[in-house]
Structure 1
Amino acid sequence: MDRRSIIKHAGIAGVLAAGAAPAVHAQATIRWRLASSFPKALDTIFGAADVFAKKVGDMTGGKFSISVHPGGELMPAFGVVDGVQQGTVEAAHTAPYYFFGKDDTFAMGTAIPFGLNSRQLTAWYYDGNGLKLFREFYDKYNIVNFPGGNTGAQMGGWYRKEIKGVADIKGLKMRIGGFAGKVFTRMGGVPQNIPGGEIYQALEKGTIDATEWVGPYDDEKLGFQKVAKNYYYPGWWEGGAQLDFYINKTAFNALSKENQAIVEAAAAYAHTEMQARYDARNPAALKRLVAGGAKVLPFPKAVMDLAYKEAMALYAELNDTNPAWKKIYTDYSAFRKDQNLWFRFTEAQFDRYMQSAKL
């Protein structure tokens, strides 16, 4: 009787007893490298990549390992798109709006001034057309993207001098993330695009007059309150700033369907946990900053109104000049309109009441 007949008639127990078990091939170990755009000291924003890598390892029993490298270790913080596109690394974790210089359309993957908040952006990606549209956009960069965390609405940054009106924006040198600098320029400001790990030195030396990063938890770690005391809100340019995991398309397509699903699930877990960490940790950090002398101030309405006007004018110009932008922004802005109508009657009203209540 041949081996095939033994397996058919004896069952697995008989096969093992007969010593005729078919060869079992151990699954090959997969090793990837992930380049982050963030310094390791920021356990929330850098930490999302660690969470992602750990989940992939846990769900594969260690057969799929991803090493995570902070900005500057394998490549410059702003070099990760080229790194993933060219296959230098298999993955990256970054803020898409850093790369608006390649195409302004990248910015919508993170945040644009007066855009979607974090819940709305997640809804657009997962249940609207966001993920589909960006997958089409990133295809020419040899990238498959996954949402990789959100900071929630951000603070408006740290300023050496108070901002009392639009005149105080004129000539102000400010580290402001990516695409938002275009609006800041139209307001008369001078934007600087500086990686997170280099901001404190620039502010301390007076190379810049102001900076924004994320919010109290990260800002406290970076120490901005030591050199600038005026802490403004809201960050009108980042109502819900999303991070992405960029995966080299060739490397992703080489994975089994099971491992592709694991990458997707791990990214979704990291996406949720990152904002949970920020929401949980920001309140106590804000209290500590205020106790240490920080002055928490709202932007004057005139500044907000000018920023809104210039943002909408910029988007109209991009619709006329950039087909990729127009294709995605048309869908994005329609979704934003409906979301704001809905939130007006629910989330916004509930939040306003709760924040005024004496709990």
Structure 2
Amino acid sequence: MDRRSFLKTSAIGGSAAAATALAAPAYAQGKRTLTMVTTWGRGLAGVFDAAQRAADSITAITDGSLTVEVKAAGELVGAFEVFDAVTAGQADMYHAADYYFVGQHPGYAYFTSVPFGMTAQELVNWYYFNGGAEMHDELGELFGLKSFLCGNTGAQAGGWFRKEINGPEDFNGLKFRMPGLGGEALGKLGASVQNLPGSEVYQALASGAIDGTEWIGPWADEKAGFQEITKFYYTAGFHEPGAGLSLAVNREVFESLTPAQQKAIEIASAETHQWNLAQFLSNNGAALQRLQSAGVKVLSFNDAVWDAMGAAAKETLESKRDGDIYDKIYDSYLTSMKASSDWIKASEGAYRTQRDRILG
């Protein structure tokens, strides 16, 4: 949907005048209120927490000169309408996983995660030191956005299934929830891929509308209750090895802020990234133990499945080449990932192997 169509059809206003009224900043005694829309249902573990953390931090750092009001999915616009709402000026900022917006541009996937892509540490290496942030900004300019990395789930699980996956053929006809380019790659294995907001996944799985789903990891998945429906859980996935979350501000709104307020948004976003990553990773181990105690069968995909996923991932990523900004993002991402991975494997990777050998 283009921005003009969105303005005409949105349940918020239905007219440019309504959009302008909603976009107008609210001032009270020199203070300003900004509206943040999100792709998250209110209270979704970890992801909604990140949105609220960023909002609260912006308010605190600016000493209340900015107050950020958080709207969960459906409270102002639907989960997948937040991008258009912010680009159209109907909301001031969004918090989301940018891979939900590959329909606007496939380059957005790289600022969440792509199949066989970066871990969380590799992502921030690229983002802050090897051109990632600049490319996020360049891509955002096309849509009138100023974007920041603002949260991370860490490595995500392979997902929940009603049956074991013994080979690539088991994906054929499987109705599976997986967004982004990972979902597109899984479709190449014959899966019927669904892209559902997080708040709708439990009901879809419970009703049989889908046969399986990925969500995040043991802690968030346990909170969502998927173990109540199915007991086959694959703990390593190919699709999101370090999924970043983003905060994006309407560019005109951002440029209307003072330099101190702009810096507050930048700092709050970066702090939220590290806080959120620690939140997920510190909770996942204990949650996995609880899931196993509840009868969940913890599994790993075999090499044949990994190989098929790898081939599908390469085909998917290459197919998006456009001779323009996607290629710049893709090539920069892969170059940075290799450089980071080579050192991490030679240092931390070697150390962890020895630590596990010695300490058990």
| Alignment-mate amino acid for residue 63 of structure 2 | G
Report the secondary structure of 1:284's partner residue.
helix
Residue aligning to 1:273: 275
Report the secondary structure of 1:38's partner residue.
coil
Report the secondary structure of 1:287's partner residue.
helix
Matches for 1:326-345 after TM superposition, within 5 Å: 326-345=327-346
Q: Max radius of gyration: which structure?
A: 1
Deviation at 1:209, TM superposition (A): 0.6
State which of 173, 192, 207 in structure 2 corresponds to 1:171. 173
| Alignment-mate amino acid for residue 309 of structure 1 | A
Residue aligning to 1:17: none
Determine if contact 2:232/2:299 at 8 Å carries over to the other structure. yes
Determine if contact 2:177/2:210 at 8 Å carries over to the other structure. yes
Distance 1:247 1:212 in 2: 28
Matches for 1:32-71 after TM superposition, within 5 Å: 32-71=34-73
Deviation at 1:279, TM superposition (A): 1.0
Residue aligning to 1:128: 130
Residue aligning to 2:196: 194
Deviation at 1:327, TM superposition (A): 1.5
Change (3 A) 1:214 1:28: same
Deviation at 1:271, TM superposition (A): 1.0
Report the secondary structure of 2:266's partner residue.
helix
Which shifted more, 41-50 or 252-261? 41-50
Distance 1:92 1:286 in 2: 31
Distance 1:350 1:170 in 2: 40
Change (3 A) 1:74 1:297: same
Distance 2:265 2:354 in 1: 40
Distance 1:233 1:300 in 2: 12
Change (3 A) 1:322 1:71: farther
| Residue 76 of structure 1 pairs with residue 75 of structure 2 | no
Distance 2:283 2:46 in 1: 10
Distance 1:313 1:202 in 2: 29
Deviation at 1:233, TM superposition (A): 2.6
State which of 118, 121, 128 in structure 2 corresponds to 1:119. 121
| Deviations 1:93-132, CA, capped at 9 Å, x for gaps | 0000011112211111100000011001011011110010
The sequence identity of aligned pairs, in percent, is 36
Residue aligning to 1:240: 242
Determine if contact 1:230/1:296 at 8 Å carries over to the other structure. yes
Report the secondary structure of 2:234's partner residue.
strand
Distance 1:357 1:44 in 2: 34
| Alignment-mate amino acid for residue 323 of structure 1 | D
Residue aligning to 2:232: 230
Which shifted more, 343-352 or 166-175? 343-352
Matches for 1:142-157 after TM superposition, within 5 Å: 142-157=144-159
| Alignment-mate amino acid for residue 141 of structure 1 | F
Change (3 A) 1:352 1:70: farther
Residue aligning to 1:296: 298
Report the secondary structure of 1:200's partner residue.
helix
| Deviations 1:310-333, CA, capped at 9 Å, x for gaps | 1112222222x4622112101111
Deviation at 1:352, TM superposition (A): 3.4
Deviation at 1:337, TM superposition (A): 1.6
Residue aligning to 1:19: none
**What is the RMSD computed on CA atoms of the aligned residues?**
1.4
Determine if contact 1:27/1:63 at 8 Å carries over to the other structure. no
Residue aligning to 2:348: 347
Distance 1:331 1:103 in 2: 17
Report the secondary structure of 1:194's partner residue.
coil
Deviation at 1:193, TM superposition (A): 0.2
State which of 118, 138, 148 in structure 1 corresponds to 2:140. 138
Residue aligning to 1:220: 222
| Alignment-mate amino acid for residue 314 of structure 1 | T
State which of 238, 255, 258 in structure 2 corresponds to 1:256. 258
- Unpaired runs of 5+ residues, structure 2, are 1-27
Residue aligning to 1:313: 315
Taking structure 2 as the reference length, what is the TM-score of the superposition? Answer: 0.90
Distance 1:129 1:41 in 2: 33
| Alignment-mate amino acid for residue 204 of structure 1 | A
Which shifted more, 117-126 or 338-347? 338-347
Distance 2:353 2:288 in 1: 19
Residue aligning to 1:323: 324
| Residue 88 of structure 1 pairs with residue 90 of structure 2 | yes
Taking structure 1 as the reference length, what is the TM-score of the superposition? Answer: 0.90
| Deviations 1:62-85, CA, capped at 9 Å, x for gaps | 221001111111101011110110
